[in-house]
Amino acid sequence: MTLEVSRRGLVIGAGGLLVAGCDKINASPNVRKLLALGEGATYSAQRAIVDRTALAPEFTLAQMSPTFRTNGNTNPGWTEYAGHVASKFADWQLIVDGLVARPLKLSLAQLRAAPYRTQITRHDCVEGWSAIGQWTGAPLYLLLKQAGILPSARFVVFHCADDSGGRPYYESVDLIDAFHPQSILAWGMNGQPLSVGHGAPLRLRVERQLGYKQAKYVMRVEAVASLAGIYGGKGGYWEDVAGYQWYAGI
């Protein structure tokens, strides 16, 4: 197990974060409800809950893929995004809002100065390719905690800068995955700032789920009670347009 020490001196390791993650998950009213259900239900129901919080495998630097291809949209392209690329995202801000007590607007500099986690994981695309890469970013649960996510929230929606045929790309996860210790909003990849092709300035990594859940170009994180009424209502771009599975666990 590797230990990462962030600039704030917070020691982050797979084990340490797992404990932190579990504390947080236990603290979430939704999960408390699930766990309470599990206590009175079958062993398999409990095991399903435990599996959801397990860590995805992590790899060594030596195991990283020599190339990590880009896929899907590789540049949102429109004027405002192009302006942010030109100014190296100096004036860009991530919005965290919806069912939160304290909506946030965070600059890339603020995100990079916050506690971060680095993980080397395997990305699996449904189109039949995989690649192992290193991701560095802000643990999602820390941002949601900072924003004061409300008990009425059930899902977290990631709004992206790109669209296909006028339909914005978006994705969503439930609170178990949102508070998973390996769920991060990555600003770094393979030791470099995240490139435009891979989703600059910020992209989601939810390491126990398929490639299309790994939303690139994340502009806004919205806590919601329901996915109904958000775009096509199925929780994601590919879910809406092609009937892809919403959970997409691997």
Contacting positions for ligand MTE (CB under 6 A)? 69-73, 125, 160, 162, 169, 197-199, 211-212, 214-217
Residue 139 as a binder of Mo ion (CB under 5 A): the answer is no
198 touches which of ligand MTE, Mo ion, none (CB within 5 to 8 A by kind)? ligand MTE
Could you say which of 20, 56, 95, 125 contacts Mo ion (CB under 5 A)?
125
169 touches which of Mo ion, ligand MTE, none (CB within 5 to 8 A by kind)? ligand MTE
Residue 181 and residue 18 in contact, taking contact as beta carbons nearer than 8 Å: yes
Residue 211 as a binder of Mo ion (CB under 5 A): the answer is yes
Q: How far is the CB of 125 from Mo ion (least distance, A)?
A: 3
Distances (CA, A) of 156 to 34, 132, 152, 234: 18, 26, 12, 13
162 touches which of ligand MTE, Mo ion, none (CB within 5 to 8 A by kind)? ligand MTE
Residue closer to Mo ion, measured from CB, 21 or 211: 211
Residue 131 as a binder of Mo ion (CB under 5 A): the answer is no
Distance from C-alpha of 124 to C-alpha of 128, rounded to nearest angstrom: 7
Q: How far is the CB of 238 from Mo ion (least distance, A)?
A: 8
DSSP 43: H
Q: How far is the CB of 19 from Mo ion (least distance, A)?
A: 32
Runs of H (alpha helix) within 134-185: 140-147, 175-178
DSSP 100: B
**Helices 29-40 and 14-27, packing angle to 10 deg:** 90
In the chain the first and final C-alpha atoms are separated, in Å, by 22
Binding residues for Mo ion (CB under 5 A): 125, 211-212
